[in-house]
Homo-oligomer: A and B are copies of this chain.
Amino acid sequence: MALRYALLATLNETPATGYDVTQRFRERLANVWPASHQQIYKELGRLHDEGLVSMQALPQAGKPDRKRYAVTDAGVAALISWLQQPQPFPPVRSPMLVKLFAGDLLDDAALAREIDHARSQWQPTLNRYREIEQAYFNEPGRLPRHFRLQHLALRRGIVAVEAALDWLDELEAFAAAADSD
């Protein structure tokens, strides 16, 4: 459900084609609400059917026509009304925790591999987030409101991944102790 509002939000900043929007999702929404081009095109079609966005075809030679979407008044209204309502929290579903739940069928070696794998995913993610923070949000106090909100969204990613890595340290301490038995 949130996908359509993410779409309305970007298009509200600047009208764009499905292709452009897909780029934006890759670059700036990947850690908020990832979506593939297939899903984006489908949802843009629906939004258009419902009159929440307008569409203008821009003819091209040799390629499919570009379709430029812009939010309509009804679209802005729908987005604002969604923003007013507190949203439910997505449930946690973690394959890694399912593994811990399997208990003694999970041997020490497999656990160690899983820990390494997790670290190899999260550490680079944290580094990337911190680089972005350095580069774009160095003086948050001076930024206009919508940039500060984006910074806070990034902060959410940072604290979450830091917590994940702290927990990995706990888990590794346990695994190392078990190893030396």
Contacts and interface: CB of A to CB of B under 8 A. Distances in A.
B87 A95 contact: yes
B102 A5 contact: yes
A152 B171 contact: yes
A5 B93 CA distance: 13
A167 B174 contact: no
B163 A9 contact: no
B12 A105 contact: yes
A75 to B, nearest CB: 11
B94 A34 contact: no
Interface stretch (A15-23, A51-59, A61-69, A154-162): A154-162
Interface of A is mostly: helix
A80 to B, nearest CB: 6
A66 to B, nearest CB: 24
A176 interface: no
A124 interface: no
Interface in A127-174: 145-146, 148-150, 152-153, 155-157, 159-160, 162-164, 166-167, 170-171, 174
A163 B107 CA distance: 30
A40 interface: no
Nearest to A5: B98
Given A79-B105, A86-B113, A167 B155 contact: yes
Nearest to A95: B87
Top 7 nearest A-B pairs (CB, nearest first) are A103-B146, A163-B163, A87-B95, A86-B117, A9-B102, A32-B97, A2-B95
